[in-house]
Amino acid sequence: MGATNRIQRRVPKPMNCRKAIFRAAILLLVSLLGAHPAAAQEPRQGPLPAPTKREVTRIPVETTPEAPPIPVEEIIRRLAQKEEEFARARAGYTYRKTIRVQEFGEDNKPSGEFQVTTEPAVASDGKRYEKIVQQPPSTLRRLPLAPEDLEILARIPAFPLVTDQLNKYELTYAGKQPVDELTTYLFRVKPKQLERKIAYFEGLVWVDDRDLVVAKTYGKWVTEVGDVSTPQLPFTLFETQRENIDGKFWFPNYARSDDTLNLKSGEVRIRLTIRWTDYKPVAAASSK
C-alpha cells in the first residue's frame, strides 16, 4: 500500500470515477482495521470501587449441564486427593499473610484501614500460631479493631474438601465456566449435616479441567448455630483465588469480602482482603 502511494505521488494521473470510489473504499477499510479494539492498549485498572450494599453473588450455571468427558465421581475423587496433598505440602511452607480491613466514607473513598501481617510460627510446645511481623497504626475512624478480633480467620481451613472430609459434603456438578485463562468445572458444595461446634464450607468451587485442582472458591463457613464470622465484623462470604506455587501446588493467594456494618451512627461499607505472599519451603526460608 505504501509503495503504491509513493508511485502515485511521483506520476500523478487523473482518476476516473470508479477508481476514486475504489480508493475511498480501501482507505475506509484500512482506517476501520486500524481502529479495531484488539489493536488498542487496554487502560490500566484503577482502584477497586467501594463495596456496594451486601448482596449474595448469583453465579449463573447451566440448568442441565453437559456431562464432562471425565466421570463426575472421578473428578471429585481426584480433586479431594489434590486438596489432601496441598494441605500437607503447605504445612511445610512459610509465607506472609496480610489482612486488611477498609472502611469507606459517603464519597465511596477509603476513609481508614487496619492492617496486620503475620507468618506461621511454631511455639516452644510445638503448637503452630500466627506471629505478627508488621502492624502499622490503624486509621479506622468508626471501627475499633485489634489482631485478636481476626484470630478466627486463622482457624478456617484453606482446603475444605480433603479426602477424609469429602463424605460430609454433597457436591453437585453445575457445568463448565471460564476463570481467567482457565477452563473449569463448577461444583456446588453443601454440607450434608450441620454441627454446632464444627464449621463446614458451603458455596462454589471451580476445578481446573486439566489438572483437576481447585482454582477458586466462593462461599462461607456454616455451623448449626449460623454462619462463621469474626466477633467485630459481619464478613461471611469470601471469594478466594489460588495460584500455582513451584509448579505443583495450588495455594490460596487472595481472598476478598465486601459487606456493610450497621452502627448507631449509620451504615459503614467495609472490605476485608487477605493476601498470601512469599511462599517458600521451610528449609529454604530458614537457611537465609
pLDDT at position 250: 97
Q: CA 108, 109, 114, 119 torsion: positive or negative?
A: positive
Grade residue 187 by pLDDT with cuts at 50, 70 and 90: very high
Question: How far, in Å, are 46, 80, 135, 227 from residue 138 at the CA level?
Answer: 24, 40, 8, 27
Mean per-residue pLDDT, 104-130: 90
Mean per-residue pLDDT, 266-288: 84
pLDDT tops 70 at residue 7: no
pLDDT tops 80 at residue 9: no
pLDDT in tens, 247-274: 999 999 999 999 998 888 788 899 999 9
Q: Residues in the chain, how many?
A: 288
pLDDT tops 70 at residue 228: yes
Grade residue 145 by pLDDT with cuts at 50, 70 and 90: confident
CATH of domain 72-286: 2.50.20
pLDDT at position 48: 54
* Residue ranges of domains in the chain: 2-39, 72-286
Q: Does residue 16 or residue 205 have the better pLDDT?
A: 205
pLDDT at position 60: 54
Q: CA 243, 246, 251, 253 torsion: positive or negative?
A: negative
Q: Which long-range contacts (C-beta less than 8 Å, at least 24 apart) are formed by 241-248?
A: 241/215, 241/216, 242/213, 242/214, 242/215, 242/216, 245/93, 245/279, 246/279, 246/281
Residue 25 — φ and ψ, nearest 5°?
Answer: -65, -40
Extract the C-alpha cell encoding 65.
449441564
pLDDT at position 69: 94
User: What residues have CB less than 8 Å from 136, skipping those under 6 apart?
Assistant: 115
Paired residues of 218 in beta bridges: 204, 239
pLDDT tops 90 at residue 38: no
Q: Which long-range contacts (C-beta less than 8 Å, at least 24 apart) are formed by 183-190?
A: 183/208, 183/209, 183/210, 184/208, 184/209, 184/215, 184/216, 185/68, 185/75, 185/209, 186/59, 186/61, 187/76, 188/61, 189/160, 189/161, 189/219
pLDDT at position 62: 53
pLDDT in tens, 156-186: 889 999 999 999 999 999 999 999 999 999 9
